[in-house]
Structure 1
Amino acid sequence: METIRVRIRQAPGRTVVALLVAAVGAGLLGPLPATADPTTSHPATAPTAADPATTPGIGETIRRMSLEEKVGQLFTTYVYGSAADTADARNRQLYGVDTPADVVRRYHLGGVIHFAWSDNLRNPRQIAELNNGLQDAALSSGAKVPLLVSTDQEQGIVTRFGAPATDFPGSMALGAARTAEAARTAAAITGRELRAVGINQNFAPIADVNVNPANPVIGVRSFGADPALVSDLVAAQVEGFESGRPWQAVSATAKHFPGHGDTNVDSHTSLPVIGHTREQWEELDAPPFRAAVAAEVDSIMTAHIVMPALDDSGEPATLSPRVLTGLLREELGFDGVVVTDSLAMAGVRQRHSDAEIPVLALKAGADVLLMPWNLPTAVQGVLDAVRRGDLTEQRIDQSLRRILKMKLQRAITSHPYADVDALPQVIGIAEHREAAARIADETVTALRDDAGLLPLDRTPREVLVTGWGETTTRTLADAMRRRGSGATAMPTGATPTAAVIDRTVAAAGAHDLVVVLTNRMWDVANQPQQRRLVAALAATGKPVVAVAVRDPYDAGHAEEVGTWLTTYSYAPVSVEALARVLHGEVGPRGRLPVDIPDPARPGVSRYPFGHGLTW
């Protein structure tokens, strides 16, 4: 028997130390409980997770693993299919095996990541059963270590696990709400619902400070443009994701280090270069990551960006020892799990082969190698590097130790399976949906209402709901009809043609009020068409309410409209909150978490940080 110190987060910012007596057997801290079965509920007295990396159980597990099993544990990738043991031709094409479970067994994977496009996320029961089958594969072969199961549930515009899961407005909306408690609550609920279906690691929150309105990849995924605000909400979300009973929580992942907020280049398609000085980085980019480390975040994700002031080698941060080891490990003091952003992204694949990239990432200080372009090539590249002495097995063990420590701390080792029968008591329950609605009511921001159109009076009126988003316009029209308005949805898409604009203008003539929704109207690709639509509707003389349902920066591009709101999100919960604000059931309470620039006057804000009307 051995005595193990255990760290459990009990409340935001607080930890306690407990004692756990466990027997070390063939598995990690001993074999899994006999009740660890896909159909068995977790007992109320389930063991908690061990913490320190010096735990003898971790060392025992590492010693019994082959090199191939150790290397496999460092990789997380996607698998195709909705069931663990159902063949999908895409798995055969990519991995040389047929089923998701076969991929886990073949490569001794330490983790899988789920997406809708890989057919992993249909409904709660299917997701839970898929994850249970994948855990069966991991625990019955190879290293016999349960999987990290991850996804990007940032909420808002990046939501992988959809209805009936509880949806929240997203990060910039939470920045507009300005309360750490709202951010913490949203994360706690999201984390509990993810863990209920067997997802135990969330690649959130975003710790990037979005100071560039033209940022094509971060934008509303960020909490805002103020480092102090972003730091507060990042810390709150880390606490929310990781709080409570370990088997009901998920590992949070702050991303994208060292900071992806000031770029106009998408690292999915190219390699951004950020010209911040070291002093600017310390003032602007670093604080949210320092806050995440102070909040004891389990993992931090790298960015495929170059910041020459931090490393002038030209290597992206993901492959930079100066950034990952020098800054993140040594200066910020982070000894948790470093996860690369997807190694299939163009930002990391410009200078090196797919066999070299994972080796360089490990040399830089990364632990989890996410979604390599070619998994067999990447795995073989690491194995070859160890065998020729370019990487030591001790370096592999160092990353493996951190990963196993995280799995212990989140009770993944003692609770790898989802309780399928308990899903209706967790996923999208009334308590969670009510909390989401209350939070959404704090986020809608009114920027302008020159003519006093809002709130709408109680007289039923014919409203044309038009602009971006077939689902979004319909959702808003339905919500307005429930409140007595004769609302009609007429979506135009992101790039309405002249004929579509003409039809919409004609329809506006038959209505008393127009609500036009915009989405990334500031983007060069979308601005001309959406801009013409908004201008044409304003020219009809009909009252027009414009709503930016994603980036608030849209409001800087249509001065002729006298009423502007922004929701930062087109999630249904945000659209319903918008309807409540329009009809005066609640007042707009959000305040801008960014500056909205005036396109005609560089350096001048049309709507400044902190701006927001109410009634």
Structure 2
Amino acid sequence: MVAVSLVGVLTGGGLSGTAAATEAGARDGVDVTSAQAPKGTQAKQLEVAAKRVLHGMSLEEKVGQLFVTWVNGKTAEQADPKNQADFGVDTAAEAVRRYHLGGVIYFNNDSRDNFDDPGQVARLSNGLQAAALGSGARIPLQIGTDQEGGTVTRMGAPATEFPNSMAVAAGRDVSAGTQVGAVLGRELRAVGINQDYAPDADVNSNPANPVIGVRSFSGQPGLAGEFVSAEVHGYQEGPASKAVSATAKHFPGHGDAATDSHTGLPRIDRSEEQWRAIDLPPFLAAIAAGVDSIMSAHIQFPSLDPSGEPATLSKPIITGKLRGELGYDGVVITDSLEMQGVRELHRDAEIPVLALKAGVDQLLMPANLRLAIDSVLDAAKAGDLPMQRIDQSVLRVLKLKLKRGILTAPFTDPAQVGRSVGTPEHLAIARRIADRSITAIANDAGVLPLKQKPATTLVTGWGVAGTQTLAERLSAHGTKATALQTGQTPSDEVIAQAAVAAKNTDLVVVLTNNLGGFPRQNKLLQALMDTGNPVIAVAAQIPYDAGYDNPVPTWLATYGYFTPSLEALAKVVLGKKKPSGKLPVDVPAGADVHNVRYPFGHGLTW
């Protein structure tokens, strides 16, 4: 097995050095990408080096570099029947070798789970990199995941968990965005992950957006752009061996969608002028910050391309706007090609070729990898997809891998993971950011601050984990708290049980999630208020809940339900911290988006 030596390719020596030597270099912190060279010089060096690598690749190896897919299993050599079903091989390592893959993506869900603990992930990454170096292409992998923070977190505790992006922006400290990117980047790179599909650069201008919401920093393009830029810098600054590639998503902007592109094809009916004013600024900020990669959206945007093609397959959007007008020459990757949004109008065999013709470089998670690769190979051999177009994308991928030290130092040291992942310093940063985020939206009855600490507290409403975690954190701060989870659609019987429990407690904290979509939560709120005991309602995900007509006069927003946010909430409720967050979005009066009840920037304190 061989690893790519940047020195070798720059001097015409081709590929040299052993995988063991490369791993040793990574452990010693060797940075061979000349990061201190002037940017123009470094760019030329990367171009020369990448072209030399490209020159020695076969068509099959080039096409493999354009694909990023999931793998099944928690070790590279673990036989998993899902790998046979998905790829026709037994192990993840065999899939990497057979298809000359450019990258893999890790998940932590029931069907695709690659995470146990950080040390295990590091060993998995090393095993897959060894497989890549043992393939015909001999080119290390981009290993990516979706680690946005909050709701979209793949590597959880003991790794550092951050609040959702909207919570980070509620604190109004732009440097916090840089800290989030730096911590997440260092922890991911420590386990061998060198690409994060973050930050979300969408402007959540539609309160009913079913898929973005608190993943967005803000409903205002200026604030969103500031935090996107800061987070990109956090991910990508520093030595190549410790930084990761950031990915701004989802171009040209998913924030006004009313449909989830996982299940349908959203249509955005903004004018081009509105797009430039609202959706574009955060992507411009990401490009100005030097973002390595941009992810396309599976959305129709008729003012940018009247053909009805989703943006992922749209040459006017990808080549015309992103490449031509905006001058972006980094890697463009699709959103998952398993999603219905991109499959609504075309067969799976057509999609990869159409995406490459549109100007995309990497194809993420095709539903049928073999079919997708064969379709690109067939199109290339038939002349339908020019070799120049393929080479252009492979060159961008190789330059990214060189820039981030992936070709020169692909391995990590599992024994050193604990020095970077979930450290006390990183956990303290997450706590400080969460403490700044809690937003007091309404306090009309003057319930807060509490006149005295409650002896007993009931935590009820939405979320098994959220209610239990909050009860634990409140108890840790001096009140005897119990959890009674009622869900998003509480039955009359469950509401009655919660009301009985509320009558026998000093304070009630009720978590809500999407009152507009699940209005039975309002019945719960009324029943709790009818007890006469003080009630604090908490928008535990989207802050828009506070804008709906409801009987509770006291509202806080956490923008998420992960532990740092709930710990910060407990401190605000019990008076250990004052709320200091400011709304990053307008909160309308219920579904009437033209009537703002709580404006952008609103936030009470005492």
Question: TM-score, structure 1 length as denominator?
Answer: 0.94
Aligned match of 1:586: 577
Instruction: Give unmatched runs, 5+ long, in structure 1.
Output: 1-5, 7-18
Q: Which amino acid aligns with 1:573?
A: P
C-alpha distance in 1, partners of 2:280/2:235?
Answer: 21
User: What pairs up with 1:107-122 in 2 under 5 angstroms?
Assistant: 107-117=99-109, 118-122=112-116
C-alpha distance in 2, partners of 1:22/1:491?
Answer: 61
Give the alignment partner of residue 556 of structure 1, picking from 542, 547, 568. Answer: 547
Give the alignment partner of residue 335 of structure 2, picking from 328, 332, 341. Answer: 341
Contact 1:32 1:413 in 2 (8 A): no
Aligned match of 1:412: 406
Aligned match of 1:228: 222
1:195-236 Cα distance to aligned partner (Å, 9 max, x none): 000000000001110110000010111011101001111100
Aligned match of 1:569: 560
Aligned match of 1:521: 515
User: What pairs up with 1:44-55 in 2 under 5 angstroms?
Assistant: 44-48=29-33, 51-52=43-44, 55=47
C-alpha distance in 2, partners of 1:331/1:459?
Answer: 59
C-alpha distance in 2, partners of 1:221/1:601?
Answer: 22
Aligned match of 1:352: 346
Contact 1:25 1:31 in 2 (8 A): no
Q: In structure 2, do the counterparts of structure 1 residues 45 and 113 end up closer, same or farther at CA, with 3 Å as the change threshold?
A: closer
Aligned match of 2:13: 25
1:597 aligns with 2:606: no
User: What pairs up with 1:113-262 in 2 under 5 angstroms?
Assistant: 113-117=105-109, 118-262=112-256
Query: What is the CA-CA distance between 1:119 and the residue it aligns to?
Result: 1.7
Q: Secondary structure at the match of 1:604?
A: strand
Q: In structure 2, do the counterparts of structure 1 residues 324 and 53 end up closer, same or farther at CA, with 3 Å as the change threshold?
A: farther
Q: Secondary structure at the match of 1:515?
A: strand
Aligned match of 1:424: 418
Contact 2:10 2:45 in 1 (8 A): no
Give the alignment partner of residue 487 of structure 1, picking from 481, 486, 500. Answer: 481
Q: In structure 2, do the counterparts of structure 1 residues 544 and 558 end up closer, same or farther at CA, with 3 Å as the change threshold?
A: farther
Q: Secondary structure at the match of 1:565?
A: strand
Paired residues, number: 592
Contact 1:220 1:568 in 2 (8 A): yes
Query: What is the CA-CA distance between 1:56 and the residue it aligns to?
Result: 2.8
C-alpha distance in 2, partners of 1:217/1:199?
Answer: 25
1:84-128 Cα distance to aligned partner (Å, 9 max, x none): 001100110111001000110111100000001212011101111
Aligned match of 1:65: 57
Q: Secondary structure at the match of 1:328?
A: helix
Aligned match of 1:606: 597
Contact 2:31 2:240 in 1 (8 A): no
Q: Which amino acid aligns with 2:571?
A: R
C-alpha distance in 2, partners of 1:530/1:25?
Answer: 67
1:533 aligns with 2:524: yes
1:414-473 Cα distance to aligned partner (Å, 9 max, x none): 220111111111100000000110111110100011222223344442110111111111
Q: Which amino acid aligns with 2:64?
A: G
1:536-571 Cα distance to aligned partner (Å, 9 max, x none): 111221110000110001112243101100000111
Aligned match of 1:42: 27
Give the alignment partner of residue 75 of structure 1, picking from 67, 70, 73. Answer: 67
Q: Secondary structure at the match of 2:576?
A: coil
C-alpha distance in 2, partners of 1:263/1:350?
Answer: 16
1:340-374 Cα distance to aligned partner (Å, 9 max, x none): 00111111112211111000000000001000011
Q: Which moved more, 1:591-600 or 1:561-570?
A: 591-600
Contact 2:264 2:341 in 1 (8 A): yes
Query: What is the CA-CA distance between 1:23 and the residue it aligns to?
Result: 4.1
Q: Secondary structure at the match of 1:35?
A: helix
Contact 1:52 1:405 in 2 (8 A): no
> Percent of counterpart pairs with the same letter?
55
Contact 1:596 1:605 in 2 (8 A): yes
Aligned match of 2:463: 469
Q: In structure 2, do the counterparts of structure 1 residues 189 and 449 end up closer, same or farther at CA, with 3 Å as the change threshold?
A: same
C-alpha distance in 1, partners of 2:349/2:528?
Answer: 55
Q: Which amino acid aligns with 2:594?
A: G
Q: In structure 2, do the counterparts of structure 1 residues 319 and 464 end up closer, same or farther at CA, with 3 Å as the change threshold?
A: same
Query: What is the CA-CA distance between 1:144 and the residue it aligns to?
Result: 0.5
Query: What is the CA-CA distance between 1:44 and the residue it aligns to?
Result: 3.7
Q: Which amino acid aligns with 1:583?
A: L
C-alpha distance in 1, partners of 2:364/2:45?
Answer: 22
Q: Secondary structure at the match of 2:248?
A: strand
Aligned match of 1:11: none
Instruction: Give unmatched runs, 5+ long, in structure 2.
Output: 1-5, 35-41
Query: What is the CA-CA distance between 1:24 and the residue it aligns to?
Result: 4.1
C-alpha distance in 2, partners of 1:67/1:600?
Answer: 53
Question: TM-score, structure 2 length as denominator?
Answer: 0.95
Q: Secondary structure at the match of 2:332?
A: strand
Q: Secondary structure at the match of 2:63?
A: helix
1:24-54 Cα distance to aligned partner (Å, 9 max, x none): 4342xx44564223x8862144423564476
RMSD: 1.7
